[in-house]
Amino acid sequence: MCSKCPVGGLYVGETGQKLKARMRSHRHTIEHRRRELPVAEHFSNHGHDIGDMRVLILKGGFKSQNHRRIWEYKLITTFDTLNTGLNYSPGFMREWEV
């Protein structure tokens, strides 16, 4: 989430990596202005930087990768981050979009 954006700064993402490794990856994409990626695009184009990023683990202890991905989709839907946040796609459910 972006601390400078009271509305529209939420991003939901799942990972099987350790949080430190995933954040390193986000930092790298921001520093290299990978604008095709939602987090990098936001934090390199809107006068924000990595210091404005806040991270919250919403769920853990998943039984499988699919279980984790289903929860990602549920949270993207719950927080409506496709319409009001930083998500570009509904995660693995994009394969079934009409």
pLDDT of 96 reads: 56
pTM: 0.80
Mind spelling out the 3-state secondary structure of 42-69? HHHHCCCCHHHECCCCCCCCCCCHHHHH
pLDDT of 12 reads: 93
91 contacts 73 by C-beta, under 8 angstroms:
yes
Average pLDDT over residues 8-13: 88
Question: What is the Cα–Cα distance from 79 to 98, expressed in whole angstroms?
Answer: 21
Q: What is the pLDDT of residues 35-92, one digit of tens each?
A: 888 888 888 877 888 888 899 899 889 999 999 999 999 999 999 999 988 888 777 6
**Total Cβ atoms within 10 A of residue 45:** 10
Domain ranges in the chain are 19-96
